[in-house]
Amino acid sequence: MKSEERRAVLPDGAELCYILKRSPRRRTIALRIDGNGLTINAPARTPLYRLEAVLADKADWVRDKLAEMLARQAPEKVWQDGETLPFLGGHLRLTTRNGKAGAPPVIVDAQLLTEVLDIGNSATVKTKVLKWYRRQALEHFAGRVAHYAGRLGVPLPKLFLSNAASRWGSCNSRGEVRLNWRLIKAAPHLIDYVVAHELAHLKHLNHSPAFWRTVALLYPDCLTARRELKACGHRYHDF
């Protein structure tokens, strides 16, 4: 007889909820993510410690997939006057007005003032605002990369922006660092954690204990920031 129950587990300190379905006919453990969230299908007699071990091993993958799903389900921005935009852990109010097409958006009293030729053209507003986000991201990230490269005692790496669906950053053997431009929506301390994480890869191209010691040297509260980013990171993928 099949059974079903809702459970929660803390594989790395952050709660992960799931639906557990057991069946005497199953021989393997399978994870599925859909509109209901995470479902685990398991043989009837599989002990919970075994399920939790699987979840601990797959926690990053599960959270990435859940974030992608939530981002797809999030209501689309309408890119009109009054829209709320996340930026550096806070929010800006999008304020549009007719003006010069070439004028860059500017922050004025918690508003992102954006001039366009036609405020009714939401596609134009969106394009202009996203370009602004990328410029802000590159400027802010460059400063933090320079800061942590100096602390680590390594040459300043080449910095690029990425548009990855779920990864916040990457670093390769050529010393190139890529940071997701959407990270500019996050609070500065979370940005610093990701920068420290990626620059630590300049010393260790792996996730070994030595790597994590280097991350902690650069950013002592790295584990707390890692959990926080996993918990709230899906919010930054709404556009």
Report the half-sphere exposure of 45 (CA within 13 A, side-chain side): 3
pLDDT confidence of residue 33: 86
- How far apart, in whole angstroms, are the C-alpha atoms of residue 207 and residue 69? 26
What is the C-alpha radius of gyration for the chain, rounded to an integer number of angstroms?
Answer: 21
Domains defined for the chain, CATH in brackets? 3-73 (no CATH), 84-237 (3.30.2010.10)
pLDDT confidence of residue 149: 98
pLDDT confidence of residue 79: 94
Per-residue pLDDT of the chain (239 residues; tens, 9 = 90+): 677 888 877 766 567 788 899 998 899 999 988 877 889 999 998 998 898 888 888 888 888 888 777 766 667 788 999 999 999 999 999 999 999 888 999 999 999 999 999 988 999 999 999 999 999 999 999 999 999 999 999 999 999 999 987 789 999 999 999 999 999 999 999 999 999 999 999 999 999 999 999 999 999 999 999 989 988 888 898 89
Q: Which residues pair with 9 in a beta bridge?
A: 16
- How far apart, in whole angstroms, are the C-alpha atoms of residue 229 and residue 157? 24
Q: Is 212 exposed, middle or buried (0-12, 13-18, 19+ CB in 10 A)?
A: middle
pLDDT digits (tens, 9 = 90+) for 94-112: 999 999 888 999 999 999 9
pLDDT digits (tens, 9 = 90+) for 137-161: 999 999 999 999 999 999 999 999 9
